[in-house]
Structure 1
């Protein structure tokens, strides 16, 4: 099975300085500024996640010179809620693109979805020999009604979407291998308790909120040692996923030219890069500082930058590694 990414497109919210908005959004200013982010992207209130996804995909197809009618597959990876419930956001994007002959697939694994979506592409190309062209999209539009992006997590979420056009047999950013693993013991982390079938929305009730990082502390009984152990587990299993995908390909971590992680805060990016053994300068650290965390779009955003910058050489191995709610860990290796 062989496919490569030939073109990219982006659609980002307005870029704003964190220092200019932090006081209005949280009382814990010192903590937020300490994460090391300089800028975030914020979409207007009337712009939804499928607006961003459809724009990014259209831009990617235009860059590739491929018409929507030629697309066989659309894969959309979301981080947060789409605009509506009982609604398939991937199918909506397919229709807006005009890719009416394409199958639409939705990947809903939080921040790791942009990596597992590439594995989804590999599977679809392997089982459908007639598929030649696919569009993969990572998108995030924070549901501000349900949680505060500056007061909930230790990484700061931006609004934006990035799409890539994948073509069977293409020799740029060729898919080489993927690995994924899950641990359902943590499935309740970050869930929203109201709004599903177990506890539907009710008229007149207060707006519900999603669980956050502080609820994770409650899960561990506010035992700081256990919370720290869980943070270490996230980092260690991210590094382990890199090791396993390298082993699957028959290569070593030192063979990696680039390691793209989530656009996490500086401490986490440094810790994970050190565990893998890749210098921070060969990661997406600067992109994280300058743009914030796009959720499932982080890795495609980094690949888009690498594609446009010309810094990658032919034969470079690029590893994408992530963790996401569920919990899931995944890695993919592409070859430039």
Structure 2
């Protein structure tokens, strides 16, 4: 399908230096600081995921000159739990924007949703020839009741949303193709035991929390070799999905001007840059360490930053690549 990005928008929480706030989240200060992140973005309690999504969407719509009634499709990719359970955040976004004629689609594939959403748009455009314009939003609002933004994972989570309006036939920032790898053997890796139908929340119980890094070792029977093997697999599949996406788009990995990965920690991004054979300065390492990890919003935020900075030339090819729980690995090839 032939479509391109017409305009961008973003909405971020307040920026806070990691060194100043790390003690609010963990006593393991040195481990967290070793990840290399300088700042994270945090929202006050009254700001929800869809508040961020609405603000970013409105900015993207204004930048592209799009009225709500012109949207045929609204796609929202989320990383964490939204404001409510039994509730469709994408439909709420559609209503709050006044895009009442648009189909709404919610993507909950973790951090990979900011990539797989492009395939969703391509599929809808293919099956609905009358669809001309779509809104794509990636958003993360850390649910701190269940998830410690600095201790649960080796990425430091930030609150924010990024959006783009895409148009059929638009000549700039064109989607050239994508690829997704799914390995359901790791579907249970990031789950939270309580809160679902099997073990629902019950009155008087201790507050449930998401697994931390050590709890995740249970999945591998506390075998450090197996865990290290999984980390190697995760990184190798990022390389694989980039190569497969390039092949599908009819380009070579060496043709890529930039590779935008998840806003991961310093060590991981350097390992991935080496595996992909790209210099660190052609990745998102600097942006990641300056701002933190925004989940499904990472890739659009990085792309918007490059556009604003004038880093991209006409004809440049960019790979948006990463992984998300499920496990899913995804890559989308974008031509400037």
TM-score, normalising length: structure 1 = 0.99
Q: 1:12-41: CA deviations, max 9, x gaps?
A: 000000000002210110000000000000
CA–CA separation in structure 2 for the residues paired with 1:213 and 1:230: 13
CA–CA separation in structure 1 for the residues paired with 2:126 and 2:280: 34
CA–CA separation in structure 2 for the residues paired with 1:197 and 1:181: 28
Q: How does 1:53-202 map to 2 (within 5 A)?
A: 53-202=53-202
Is 2:117–2:136's contact at 8 Å kept on the other side of the alignment? yes
CA–CA separation in structure 1 for the residues paired with 2:4 and 2:226: 42
Is 2:41–2:160's contact at 8 Å kept on the other side of the alignment? yes
Q: CA deviation at 1:212?
A: 2.9
Structure 1 segments of 4+ aligned residues over 3 angstroms from their partners: none
Q: 1:258-285: CA deviations, max 9, x gaps?
A: 1000000011111111111111101111
Q: 1:286-305: CA deviations, max 9, x gaps?
A: 11011000000000001111
Is 2:73–2:134's contact at 8 Å kept on the other side of the alignment? yes
Q: How does 1:202-213 map to 2 (within 5 A)?
A: 202-213=202-213
Is 1:189–1:215's contact at 8 Å kept on the other side of the alignment? no
Q: 1:62-115: CA deviations, max 9, x gaps?
A: 111111111110000000001001100000000000101100000000010000
Pairwise CA RMSD of aligned residues? 0.8
Structure 1 residue 265 and structure 2 residue 265: aligned? yes
Q: CA deviation at 1:310?
A: 1.3
CA–CA separation in structure 2 for the residues paired with 1:134 and 1:75: 8
Is 1:322–1:329's contact at 8 Å kept on the other side of the alignment? yes
- The residue matched to 1:135 in structure 2 has which SS? strand
CA–CA separation in structure 1 for the residues paired with 2:194 and 2:271: 35
- For structure 1, which runs of at least 5 residues remain unmatched after alignment? none
Is 1:190–1:212's contact at 8 Å kept on the other side of the alignment? no
Is 2:74–2:134's contact at 8 Å kept on the other side of the alignment? yes
CA–CA separation in structure 1 for the residues paired with 2:250 and 2:72: 31
Is 2:152–2:210's contact at 8 Å kept on the other side of the alignment? no
Q: CA deviation at 1:190?
A: 1.5
CA–CA separation in structure 2 for the residues paired with 1:124 and 1:318: 23
Q: CA deviation at 1:250?
A: 2.2
Residue 223 of structure 1 corresponds to: 223
Is 1:158–1:293's contact at 8 Å kept on the other side of the alignment? yes
Q: How does 1:238-249 map to 2 (within 5 A)?
A: 238-249=238-249
How many aligned residue pairs are there?
336
Is 1:261–1:322's contact at 8 Å kept on the other side of the alignment? yes
- The residue matched to 2:164 in structure 1 has which SS? strand
CA–CA separation in structure 2 for the residues paired with 1:250 and 1:8: 26
Q: 1:155-195: CA deviations, max 9, x gaps?
A: 10000000001011011110001000111111111211111
CA–CA separation in structure 2 for the residues paired with 1:131 and 1:308: 28
Q: CA deviation at 1:252?
A: 1.4
TM-score, normalising length: structure 2 = 0.99
CA–CA separation in structure 1 for the residues paired with 2:34 and 2:335: 35
